[in-house]
Amino acid sequence: MPTELPASALYSHPSLGRLWRKVHISCSPFLHRTELQRLYRLPSARIRKHFGRRSYSLLALGCADGTKESLLLKKLPKPTSLLALDTNLSLARRAARRLPAFQKSAYRADLTSSLSLQFLSSRLSPHPTLITLFGVLPNLKPLPLLRSIRRFMRKDDLLLFSANLTPGQSAHTGALRILPQYDNRPTRNWLEAAILRYRPKLPKGHLEFGVFPDPKQKTLARIEARWMNNHLPIVIFSSRRPTRLQVESWIQASGLRRLKRWIEPRGEEGVWLVQSIIRPSPFPRDPKRKKR
């Protein structure tokens, strides 16, 4: 029996994608707060400055139906090409229909698989690429994901990602405050449908929501939905709630450099624009320098 379901098990079937959209429409603060929508329009000026008059491509990772990317693109020139990628192909296709680009394609891919990422890097166009990663870092392990994206980033590519932050000073108390955004009927319906679809079948049980330390980084708060049964609890859903500093440390540890960040007024969500650190080629050794 797994101790934790992969995030893709909650999204990959079309019916689960539809249930997730219902959750998004009824519970996500993004659709109800204009400051959060603004967060996804603001970076366009900095991105325009970076690309100048050059053509660019858009690689939208874990894009779902592309709502956030469409806000960003409103004030950007039309990309030459668009690759919309999600574990749920019907959502990725919806994003490809919605977003403007001269050439479009949609793929199903697993961001946790190195094969999928290798495939991705082979599909990148020769133009500089803007990579978006919205709402995905909370669900997947942040360091391995950022590192594997960085590996295929070229000198002029940009990565714009969002993180759900813990509001306030204490990670645990901050996350407790926003627990009702997760522990509600639409979210339970979605997760219970994913549990029914999962194979091997999970034992009988019930869902409990809470805030726990991330198993890989104890000071990081994770909102979890656990399936309580007669054996060990199974983590069905988790959403990491880092502080700004924790996000900055992931950026550094992944070989990325922050160009700019935007945080919404309540401090619950932030967007970071980063670039890969290009390792300079080693200086030629000075033969006169003494060995230490």
Ligand X SMILES: C[S@@+](CC[C@H](N)C(=O)[O-])C[C@H]1O[C@@H](n2cnc3c(N)ncnc32)[C@H](O)[C@@H]1O
Query: Residue 139 or 166: which CB sits closer to ligand X?
Result: 139
Residue 274 binds ligand X, judged by CB under 6 A: no
CB-based contact 152:124 (threshold 8 Å): yes
Alpha-carbon distances, residue 131 vs 64, 149, 189, 273, 290 (angstroms)? 14, 9, 32, 10, 45
Closest CA to 190 of 4, 6, 61, 13: 13
Ramachandran bin of 144, using left for φ above 0, alpha for ψ from -120 to 50, beta for the remaining angles: alpha
Please, what is the minimum distance in Å from the beta carbon of residue 162 to ligand X?
7
| Window 110-149: residues binding ligand X (CB under 6 A) | 110-112, 134-136, 139-140
Per-residue binding string, ligand X, 16-35, x by CB under 6 A, is: --------------------
Could you tell me the CA-to-CA distances from 9 to 63, 116, 134, 152, 156 in Å, in that order? 16, 17, 18, 26, 34
187 forms part of the interface with ligand X (CB under 6 A)? no
One residue of 80, 88, 187, 238 binding ligand X per CB under 6 A: 88
Q: Are residues 102 and 78 in contact, defined by beta-carbon separation less than 8 angstroms?
A: yes
Task: Confirm or reject binding of residue 87 to ligand X (CB under 6 A).
Answer: yes
| Residue 40 lies near ligand X (rule: CB under 6 A) | no
> CB of 21 within 8 A of CB of 31?
no
Q: Measured from the CB of residue 40, what is the shortest distance to ligand X in angstroms?
A: 9
**Minimum distance from residue 252 beta carbon to ligand X (Å):** 24
Q: Which region, judged by CB under 6 A, interacts with ligand X, from 72-80, 109-117, 146-154, 200-208? A: 109-117
Which residues contact ligand X by CB under 6 A? Answer: 7-8, 11, 62-64, 67-68, 86-88, 91, 109-112, 134-136, 139-140
